[in-house]
Amino acid sequence: MTVILASASPRRSELLRNLGLSFVICPADLDEESIQENTPSRLVEAISSAKASKVAAESDPNALVIAADTVVVLDGVVLGKPANADAAKQMLSALSGKTHEVYTGVTLRQGVRDVCFHERSEVQFRTLSEEEIGAYLQTGEPMDKAGSYGIQGVGALLVSEIRGDYFNVMGLPLCRLGLALQDFGLNLLTLAAETTRG
């Protein structure tokens, strides 16, 4: 079975490769700003579903498409990727010392079959000084990430606590994904065992 990852995210690719899954990358060319929903959970599900639909329409109908979308939410406000360093600084300052939510929506589509779900995690930032925010901005890491931080990189130094799936914060809730893939005949634990034996 051909598996297609409808994402250009290097983090999502790395997570799937670490599980031994073979796939091709085909990012969805989608205007995400045009999709509006009244809750973060519905928003990430709608965007992931739209990504999956677009890529599936252009691919082999037997291929299994995996699409995902992640947002950071602070006090009910969705924080996307920063437009510039000033926007990143504002986001990091707002997140400092507070708990925020990370939602990831995932859609799996193969032919007429699809499964769509979301996962939610809570992330607590420690209180950051202006100097620390400035130093983190200088790493360049915040610029292509929702909420202006990456928990798998230097951004780990900003996080004091996580409640929920760590990998969800990275952009792909692996436990839920693994269970959902079983419905499409893919057991990642069995695949990992076979890869190890091979």
* Greatest CA separation for the chain: 52
Is 69 one of the annotated active-site residues of the chain?
A: yes
192: pLDDT confidence band, cut at 50, 70 and 90?
confident
194: pLDDT confidence band, cut at 50, 70 and 90?
confident
Q: Per mean pLDDT, which range of 31-35, 114-118, 180-184 is the poorest?
A: 31-35
Q: Per mean pLDDT, which range of 24-28, 138-142, 186-190 is the poorest?
A: 186-190
Mean pLDDT (whole number) for 183-191: 90
In terms of Cα–Cα distance, which of 11, 57, 8, 49 is closest to 32? Answer: 49
Number of domains present in the structure of the chain: 1
Contacts of 56 (CB under 8 A, 6+ apart): 63, 65, 109, 110
The enclosing domain of 102 has a CATH number of 3.90.950.10
> Does position 67 have pLDDT exceeding 70, yes or no?
yes
What pTM value is reported for the model? 0.92
Catalytic residue among 29, 31, 60, 69: 69
Mean pLDDT (whole number) for 133-153: 94
Q: What percentage of residues in the chain have a pLDDT greater than 70? A: 99
pLDDT single digits (tens) 3-59: 999 999 999 999 999 888 999 999 998 877 788 898 999 999 999 999 999 999 999
Residue 198's pLDDT is 57
Residue 161's pLDDT is 97
Mean pLDDT (whole number) for 172-198: 88
> Does position 196 have pLDDT exceeding 90, yes or no?
no
DSSP string, the chain: --EEE----HHHHHHHHHTT---EE------GGG---SSHHHHHHHHHHHHHHHHHHTS-TTSEEEEEEEEEEETTEEE---SSHHHHHHHHHHHTT-EEEEEEEEEEEETTEEEEEEEEEEEEEPP--HHHHHHHHHTSGGGGSGGG--TTTGGGGGEEEEES-HHHHHT--HHHHHHHHHTTT--HHHHHHHHHH-
80: pLDDT confidence band, cut at 50, 70 and 90?
confident
Q: Which structural domain range is residue 136 located in?
A: 3-197
> Encoding tokens for residue 31?
């205007």
